[in-house]
Amino acid sequence: MLASILAEHLQLELVGNDRDISAIAPIHTASSTELAFVSQARFLSQLALTRAGVVIIKPAWSDRVPEGCAAILASDPYLAFARATHYFAAAKELATGIHPSAQVHPEATVDATAAVGAHVSVGRGTEIGPCVTIGANVSIADHCKIGAGSRLEAGVVVYSDVHIGQRCRIHSNAVIGSDGFGFAPSPEGWVKIEQLGGVRIGDDCDIGANTVIDRGALQHTVLGNNVIIDNLVQVAHNCIIGDQTAIAACVGLAGSTRIGRRCTLAGGVGVVGHLDICDDVHVTAMSMVTKSIIEPGSYSSGTTMMPSVEWRKSAVRMGQLENLNKRVQQLEKLLSKETRDQ
């Protein structure tokens, strides 16, 4: 692709000689036929040494571009890079139509522009929209809806009564609509609570590999628009996740958690059930959220890493805090009494 054509697609300005771009590469390894980007000032030292044919940079850095290197000027180079990747993606598109080995229920509807791969199963009453791609070995149960332009990679499992919006991507081995973890105790043991809700996923969502989104118990589990979820995430029944929220790998959301818009949950975060997180909250990695968050901002919990010997000492002192608190209260009472007696 010519750099000028890419710049036109991105609606950005190209400075320097036009040239053909074959790929995108890191700034320190890019060759004369590759595109690179610099989004942070700390990488400007690498810009001076790059052999990239074209770089995406901020306009203020244009005078730092090496001789012979062209530049695409962007106020947000990282965002421009993200959009540029769409023109270099090497995803293999399935041929339009239904593979002979696929099993599609007679009462299902598959748009003529959709692509249904090998050994796919589509249940009764399910609707597959225009330009949808269903990879090999995907299982879609009854009464589901897959919106236009969405893509389900190989091995995805979609239980009944799941609606997936437009332009979504569900990565391999994700499971959407499995039963929530609902059981009632009885003298004879656990009694299963049938999960009668479904799952509703908005438009432009991305759900990572091996992530599980459980169906609701009585109401639906809901993801808003442009929600992005990494690999190995557990979303329990009845959770509601607001628009443009991002959830990193290994996060666990207990049942009936309600997360607002534009939130970010970093890797390994745990959230106990039946609480609310307001809009614009960032929770740092490995934190445990045990109560509702009602004000936007960044939140953390847990202890930072330290040498094992120091951690053991701190753990011992942690167990002594209750006794220490009682002693401090006793000292305060004594001091208060002495002050009154003077």
Output b/e per residue, 85-103; b: 16+ Cβ within 10 A: eeeeeeeeebeeebbeebe
pLDDT digit string, tens, across residues 186-235? 999 999 999 999 999 999 999 999 999 999 999 999 999 999 999 999 99
Cβ(73)–Cβ(15) below 8 Å: yes
- Do both 335 and 295 map to the same domain? no
Residue in the block written with tokens 């007679």: 106
- Do both 71 and 220 map to the same domain? no
CATH of the domain at 47: 3.40.1390.10
- Do both 47 and 175 map to the same domain? no
CA distance 249 to 230: 5
Q: What is the pLDDT of residue 199?
A: 99
Phi first, then psi: give them for residue 157, nearest 5 degrees: -120, 125
User: Mean of the pLDDT values across residues 102-124?
Assistant: 97
Name the pLDDT band for 90 (thresholds 50, 70, 90): low
CA distance 27 to 44: 10
- Do both 261 and 324 map to the same domain? no
- Do both 139 and 32 map to the same domain? no
- Do both 102 and 251 map to the same domain? yes
Q: Which of 86, 237, 274, 282 is catalytic?
A: 237
Q: Order of strands, edge to edge, in the sheet holding 115-116? A: 97-98, 115-116, 133-134, 151-152, 169-170, 206-207, 228-229, 246-247, 264-265, 281-283, 297-299
- Do both 166 and 262 map to the same domain? yes
pLDDT digit string, tens, across residues 43-55? 999 999 999 999 9
CA distance readout (Å), 106 to 58, 123, 127:
55, 9, 11
- What are the structure tokens assigned to 278, written together? 């307001």
Find the domain containing 74 and state its range.
3-85
Q: What is the pLDDT of residue 318?
A: 86
Considering Cα of 285, then 288, then 292, then 293, what sign does the dihedral take?
negative
In a domain, 145, yes or no: yes
CATH of the domain at 294: 2.160.10.10
- Do both 233 and 209 map to the same domain? yes
- Do both 193 and 337 map to the same domain? no
- Do both 109 and 191 map to the same domain? yes
- Do both 58 and 156 map to the same domain? no
- Do both 107 and 50 map to the same domain? no
Last residue of a domain, one of 50, 85, 120: 85
How high does pLDDT run on average in the chain? 95
Q: What is the pLDDT of residue 340?
A: 75
In a domain, 57, yes or no: yes
Active site residue 237: yes
